[in-house]
A and B are shown apart, each in its own frame.
Chain A
Amino acid sequence: MAKIDEVKAMVEAGKTKLVPGLVQEALDEGSAAKDILQGMVDSMSVVGDKFSTGEIFVPEMLMAAKAMAKGVDVLKPLMAGDSSNSLGTCIIGTVAGDLHDIGKNLVSMMIESAGFTMVDLGVDVPADRWIEAIKENQNVTLVACSGLLTTTMPALKEAVQTIKGSGLPGFKVIVGGAPVTQEFATEIGADGFAPDAGSAAVKAVELVKN
């Protein structure tokens, strides 16, 4: 098995202690940092699919993301200034009036694993704070708004409509959360919707590449 394949397998298996060493071995063998990174991104895509289909659960997804993060730490010094693998910056948060963050954190982790730079605004984010964050950060290509309660669906609508109505260019808006459906996402003007963290990463990539 080539070292990159070993890295991929161990990321998928969530082997946080083994991945950094394997990444170093892959580099020592002559693999390019960006190819190793892409291998790990591909692994996380598999992890996301397995989560979406119920084959794995939250702990397995967390462990895989942590394993990838450890691998990325080894690559970072070699990739400073190289943005060829980056899909841009994703601003993420939970909308005003909602303090839920578990789902949002999982989505953040998976979108980061897909190649985005994450800016997490946390929970209970008022509509105008999204706009500030888009202005404050470079190369924002995606804004991800989470809402977990039926009672915060109006706040989700307000956030999306404020963001879309701001006139700021260059990004797509994705929404999600327990009560959110594709119909609701379409109705409030979001560009995309995903039912879970695994498919959110897939959708995020699809949105910014198209």
Chain B
Amino acid sequence: MLTKRQNLLETIRGGNPDRFVNQYEFMNLIMEVPMGVEFNYGKIWKDQWGITWNWPEGQLGMFPVHDAEHTVIKDITEWKKYLTIPVVPTSDEAWGPAIAHANSVDRREEYVTGLKIPGIFEMTHHLMGVENALMALYEEPEAMREFIDALTQYELEWAKVMIEKIHPDCLFHHDDWGSQKSTFISPEMFEEFLLPAYKKIYGYYKANGVELIVHHSDSYAASLVPFMIDMGIDIWQGVMTTNNTPELIKQYGGRISFMGQLDSGPIDFPGWTPELVAREVEKVCKECGKLYFIPNLTQGLNFSSFPGVYDAVSKEVDKISKEIF
């Protein structure tokens, strides 16, 4: 039997996997990396960038607050005045738990996976508000380019320190680029503003020992796949059914792999049942096939919003593997 890591490589390289890669199993996520991201259920707080977050009780996630008082960058032409870029922590104290976790991983079995959450596009709208961020791409393109460059420099600094500290061989990087039906911005605009930033960032990771780039965007983004390949993404995690994933696999398999296809909305909800999960897992595994595809909830981490769903999916993936392989 292949190790998780070997099986992953067989799957994404078009070889001979002996089972489906089961969701996040190949990524040992080093959640202790000091990204400065907080998850404070039921609270309102300010993060290291000055962004105010609100996570009301009963909500599935947290929301940045963008009223006049709380929006960090109130005028993109003066972003330098409003933005204080945090310092990437380098102390042993800050990195100790992450280093200990990374050292405990059997790298023959799993990838030591560093994280960066959120990504460049999300940072623009977290700091500015989404409408302002999107309009600024038209109204103040130069200022947006400078601002994106500054965010990119921060990411490169983060990458440098994280690589030094935990020597990841995989990166899991978030940045949502679309809704379930469309990308937020046109492919042309993406190519102009975001592709150069990501080529630098992912290029740096690849040049410094990171073998695998996994990018999370639980959305439609089929029109961006050529750019994903260009910037060095190996696996697009979060691919939704709206992308016509079987067709993407046919078209791009071998250059990029697709992880997801189990849309959270209709599967990961309070009324879920094991039968529903079984049906959906079987359907997507048969539709998408053995290569260049990893069945997975589109959720951006290795859990579900509602207890039991993630494990039920894993169980069904194992079951369908026995049938198909």
Interface residues in chain A, defined as those with a beta carbon under 8 Å from any beta carbon in chain B = 14, 16, 54, 56-60, 62-63, 66, 97-100, 102-103, 105, 124, 149-151, 178-179, 195-196
Contact = CB atoms under 8 A, between A and B. Distances in A.
17 contacts: A54-B181, A56-B186, A57-B182, A57-B184, A58-B134, A58-B184, A62-B131, A63-B139, A99-B56, A103-B179, A150-B265, A150-B269, A150-B270, A151-B60, A178-B179, A178-B180, A195-B181
Contact of A62 (B135, B181, B265, B270): B135
B183 to A, nearest CB: 7
A59 B134 contact: yes
B189 interface: yes
Interface in B159-196: 179-186, 189
Nearest to A195: B181
Contacts of A103: 179
A57 B266 CA distance: 25
B189 A57 contact: yes
Contact of B139 (A16, A58, A100): A16
Contacts of A98: 59
B134 A99 contact: no
B138 interface: yes
Contact of A179 (B63, B134, B184, B265): B265
A14 B138 CA distance: 9
Contacts, number: 56
B130 interface: yes
Interface in B135-152: 135, 137-139
Interface of B: 54, 56, 58-60, 63, 130-131, 134-135, 137-139, 179-186, 189, 265-266, 269-270
A99 B181 CA distance: 20
Given A57-B189, A99-B54, A151-B270, A63 B138 contact: yes
Contact of A57 (B56, B131, B185, B269): B185
B270 A59 contact: no
Contacts of B183: 57
Interface centre among A14, A54, A58, A149 (most CB of B within 10 A): A58
Contacts of A62: 131, 134-135
A59 to B, nearest CB: 4
Given A57-B183, A102-B130, A178-B180, A151 B138 contact: no
Given A16-B139, A62-B131, A178-B179, A99 B63 contact: yes
Contacts of B186: 56-57, 59-60
Contacts of A63: 135, 138-139
Contacts of B179: 103, 178
Contacts of B134: 58-59, 62
B63 A59 contact: no
Interface centre among B54, B180, B186 (most CB of A within 10 A): B186
A58 B54 contact: no
Given A57-B182, A59-B186, A103-B179, 15 more contacts: A14-B138, A56-B186, A57-B183, A57-B185, A58-B185, A59-B138, A59-B185, A99-B54, A100-B63, A102-B130, A124-B56, A150-B266, A178-B179, A178-B265, A195-B181
Contacts of A58: 134, 184-185
A178 B59 CA distance: 16
Contacts of A105: 131
